[in-house]
Amino acid sequence: MIQDGKVLTPECFETLLYPKRLKVRYGGRGAGKSEDVAEKAVAFAYQMGDRWLCGREYQNSIDDSVYGLIVSKIRLMEAEGIIPEGFFDVQASLIYGRNGSCFKFVGLARNVESLKSKYGYTKVWLEEAETISDKTWTLLEPSIRAEGSEIWITFNPNEEAAPTYQRYVKPYEDAIREKGFYIDDLIDVRKVGWQDNPWFPDVLRQQMERDKALNYKKYLHVWEGECNADYDDSIIEPEWIDAAIDAHVKLNYRPRGEIVTSFDPADSGKDAKGLAQRQGMFVKDVRQWKDGDLDDAITRAFDSAFESRADILVYDSIGVGAGVKVGLANRVAGRNLVVHGFGGGDAPTAGIYKDDRLNKDVFKNKRAQYWWLLRDRFERTYQATVKGEYFDPETMISLSSEIKELAQLKAELVRQQRKRTSGSRLIQLVSKDEMRAAGIPSPNMADALVMAFAVDDIPKPQDLNIHIPAVSHYWR
């Protein structure tokens, strides 16, 4: 932002001022990414004599580039007295500074081989970098080799599988989810949004609110900077999840009932372990971790159940589940803790779903059944908290706003798709293996949350001689 003869920098862009080989700013509309980088590019060219290569994957004409934005910043900074008038020689498609600085604007895809000769540039700005191909990245990075040279990358993410996202965001997602950024000796990457822009204009705010009301998935993608989650067959809507955050507070309801810990061990070495804890309809915690072996994970799951005084511990019994069962057996001996294996591929539980339809006539398997029952909880919570309809609170769900990885849990819940099979009316879900094949991460936290509510086929506590405290027993 240029104001009163000064270039003002929002906090989320401050580290762009310090040396780093790779500087990445990605996120939603309204963050001011392009405006801020353009201002800094002009300032660096004026003060440091930087030679800027401004590129994007496709550039049919100079109008497709950031040329116009750079020129507008030069004129504004001249008018504000920040740089001398005439310091930059603005030509039809090139800009030169008196100190040897310059701006050149290129389309990368059609000149990919010429990247090998892009010597002498000290700064590169890649705008709309979402579409840059892996081939372009492979050639570009080593071609920018001047001492102290930097590559600045700005984009709004679309597909998670895109090369830019996979190279410059995906490896650092855990840190970005936790802190909003990741910085090491090589890279400075930060997710930014309209919330980070102190000068976010009212006209964009109105448009944002309209998108949020009319198409929530579009809002998340365009304005919140999430990868495109326009899944046609998502079974849980993102606005339902938002409605469930601290729903017990919104409904003035004090959670009660059984305390359940659920544990989803990793199916493969790349998967995270997932764990959820709830009391009644209130989900106190859902988390994941990747470190440690299976025995470590079993110990962590048991310790969490023990510390929360859980009545039931549910675990995924498929795959490595046999090892979990053995590992838990010694730990729970002599304790008032029911251990229950959940087999997602098993037949649905006995009983009726809706309209006198048997579970077996509605669902393909247990995984589909309990994901769908969780879906129903979220939908009822939305109807109650947003539209004022009445439901028994124990048939709804409340997610604690203090869940550390709430954004990741939300993404996993929204990604789960229904699978349509010709000739079958049974509700079936896209499997974890099918999700992995499509490049979609395994929803370990979401599966743990599902299992936390998959306890209705367990014999009643009184039949198992375990004690469930009275209504006065609450988590605090």
Domains of the chain (ranges, CATH numbers): 2-196 (3.40.50.300), 231-464 (3.30.420.240)
Q: What span, in angstroms and rounded, lies between the C-alpha atoms of 242 and 450?
A: 17
- The sign of the CA dihedral 461, 467, 473, 475 is negative
User: Are the C-beta atoms of 426 and 363 separated by less than 8 Å?
Assistant: yes
b (16+ CB within 10 A) / e for 414-425:
bbbbbeeeeeee
Side-chain-side CA neighbours of 453 within 13 Å: the count stands at 25
pTM over 0.85: no
Q: What span, in angstroms and rounded, lies between the C-alpha atoms of 335 and 311?
A: 10
Q: Using 50, 70 and 90 to split pLDDT, how confident is the model at 212?
A: confident
| Least confident among 75-89, 101-115, 276-290, 302-316 | 101-115
Q: How far is CA 108 from CA 10, 153, 189, 416, in A?
A: 30, 14, 22, 36
Q: What span, in angstroms and rounded, lies between the C-alpha atoms of 242 and 401?
A: 10
Q: Which two tokens stand for residue 422?
A: 């010709």
The pLDDT score that the predictor gives to residue 232 is 61
Type of residue found at 256 = R
**Which SS3 state, helix, strand or coil, does residue 340 take?**
strand
Give the residue-averaged pLDDT of 350-362: 89
Q: Using 50, 70 and 90 to split pLDDT, how confident is the model at 144?
A: confident
| DSSP-assigned states of every residue in 88-156 | EEE-SSEEEETTS-EEEEEESGGGGGGGGG-TT-SEEEETTGGG--HHHHHHHHHH--STT-EEEEEE-
Question: Could you read off the pLDDT of 147-199 as tens digits, one per residue?
Answer: 899 999 999 998 877 899 989 998 898 788 778 899 999 999 999 999 999 99
User: Are the C-beta atoms of 311 and 336 separated by less than 8 Å?
Assistant: yes
Other Cβ atoms within 10 Å of 47 Cβ, number: 11
The pLDDT score that the predictor gives to residue 174 is 79
The pLDDT score that the predictor gives to residue 358 is 93
Does the pLDDT at position 288 exceed 60?
yes
